[in-house]
């Protein structure tokens, strides 16, 4: 392998990238656009739940329950209904997610110490959000019931009731429980996977369509030198994309960074090389740019978003799908980024992920070189 020929290919490819100013600007702007779009739009936080209250009792006890919902940051009480019909219509038209119905006799039951019920109506079309909303409502009603029971006990001379369990919670790594701190690091990995894969997926197919591959065939350039030269040129663009993505994550979304910047840079370099080699391999096996683009999208976008674990938990997936995720490089880079950003872990914990990413880059480089050699033969 000749370093001189590899450098010549690198300079030739870099000039082509710089000459196409529109594509270069799009490649640099796309990570920022995707991060801003998904970072603000994709939120797993469930709060300000649209709620409508039907108070059929109208007593101080029932109004106290309504005030509990009004004072909670998790619920947005849009108004009060005078029957069940407005609740049903509002849920059918997706104006509210939850309805609270307080039946007649609620205040009398509370005053007498008997069991009093509150009905929660939920729009279950979004089962995940409905489950979280139900948990919030149950906790709020349960805490209010404990306060009422304590007051009744005090009136009866029994003293104040203490909770049977005093739960003291401590949240590690994301103490504010903001979903952006969980989503943005994974989103950086997915964006880099898509951008890196697409940057190089057209390079060899474009050479064949433009007729410049015949000129390369007349030179002593070897397949490995062509692959490394092309990868190195797009690696410069990939590093710029990674820097932009990190600046957006840290500067715009204020994601906490607790780990080593050197480990972050090292893992990013290995991941970028692997995905750039993958794009070249896709380009080598494709006959046209359109085919290369389609394969590049299918092999980066869908696995990156669905099988990397950056939003959807891999542990809850079916066993067959969970097994497929083990060959998705974004899965390992997402784990690495979340570990570095949120947990501050070091190489002792993340060595397995980095070994897979390095092995993936080496294997894909060999496959791309072999396929290009077959195409040139």
214 — pLDDT class (breaks 50, 70, 90): low
Chain-centroid distance of CA 6 in Å reads: 37
Q: Residue 15 has what pLDDT?
A: 83
pLDDT digits (tens, 9 = 90+) for 105-116: 888 887 777 788
What structural domains does the chain harbor? 3-43+178-376 (no CATH), 49-155 (3.40.1710.10)
Highest average pLDDT, of 180-184, 220-224, 317-321, comes from 317-321
Q: Residue 153 has what pLDDT?
A: 66
Please determine, for residue 161, whether its predicted confidence score (pLDDT) is greater than 60. no
**Is residue 16 classed exposed, middle or buried when 0-12, 13-18 and 19+ CB atoms within 10 A define those classes?**
middle
250 — pLDDT class (breaks 50, 70, 90): confident
Q: Residue 152 has what pLDDT?
A: 64
pTM score of the predicted model: 0.77
Q: How many residues appear in the chain? A: 377
- d(C-alpha 132, C-alpha 152), whole Å: 31
- d(C-alpha 61, C-alpha 59), whole Å: 5
Angle at 162 between CA 157 and CA 165, to 5 degrees: 155
218 — pLDDT class (breaks 50, 70, 90): low
Alpha helices in 211-288 (DSSP H): 213-217, 223-247, 261-285
Q: Residue 271 has what pLDDT?
A: 92
Q: Residue 155 has what pLDDT?
A: 64
Note whether 202 and 293 are within 8 A (CB): yes
DSSP classification of residue 53: E
pLDDT digits (tens, 9 = 90+) for 279-292: 888 888 887 888 88
pLDDT digits (tens, 9 = 90+) for 28-40: 888 888 888 877 7
Residues 6+ apart with CB under 8 A from 253: 35, 39, 180, 181, 184
Please determine, for residue 223, whether its predicted confidence score (pLDDT) is greater than 80. no
């Amino acid at each position: 392998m000749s370093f001189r020929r590899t450098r010549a290919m690198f300079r030739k490819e870099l000039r082509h990238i710089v000459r196409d100013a529109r594509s270069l600007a799009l490649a640099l702007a796309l990570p920022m656009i995707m991060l801003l779009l998904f970072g603000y739009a994709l939120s797993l936080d469930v709060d300000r739940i649209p709620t409508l209250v039907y108070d059929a009792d109208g007593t101080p006890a029932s109004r106290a329950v309504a005030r509990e919902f009004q004072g909670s940051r998790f619920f947005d009480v849009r108004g009060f209904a005078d029957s069940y019909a407005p609740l049903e219509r509002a849920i059918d038209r997706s104006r509210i997610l939850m309805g609270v119905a307080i039946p007649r006799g609620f205040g009398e039951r509370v005053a007498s110490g008997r069991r009093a019920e509150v009905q929660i109506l939920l729009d279950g079309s979004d089962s995940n959000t409905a489950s979280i909303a139900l948990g919030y409502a149950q906790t709020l009603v349960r805490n209010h019931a404990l306060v009422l029971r304590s007051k009744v006990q005090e009136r009866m001379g029994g003293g104040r009731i203490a909770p049977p369990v005093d739960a003291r919670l401590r949240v590690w790594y994301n103490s504010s429980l903001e979903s952006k701190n969980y989503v943005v690091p994974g989103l950086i990995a997915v964006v880099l996977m898509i951008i890196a894969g697409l940057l190089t997926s057209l390079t060899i197919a474009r050479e064949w369509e433009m007729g410049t591959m015949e000129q390369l065939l007349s030179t002593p350039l070897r397949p490995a030198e062509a692959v490394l030269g092309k990868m190195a040129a797009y690696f410069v663009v990939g590093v710029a994309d990674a820097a932009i993505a990190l600046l957006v994550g840290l500067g715009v979304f204020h994601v906490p960074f607790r780990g080593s910047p050197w480990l972050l840079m090292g893992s990013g370099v290995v991941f970028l090389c692997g995905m750039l080699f993958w794009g070249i391999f896709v380009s080598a096996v494709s006959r046209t740019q359109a085919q290369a683009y389609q394969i590049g999208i299918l092999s980066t976008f869908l696995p990156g978003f669905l099988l990397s674990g950056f939003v959807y938990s891999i542990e809850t997936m079916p066993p067959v799908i969970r097994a497929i995720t083990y060959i998705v490089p974004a899965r390992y880079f997402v784990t690495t980024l979340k570990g570095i950003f949120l947990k501050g872990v070091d190489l002792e914990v993340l060595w397995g992920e980095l070994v897979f990413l390095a092995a993936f880059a080496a294997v894909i480089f060999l496959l791309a070189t072999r396929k290009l050699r077959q195409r040139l033969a």
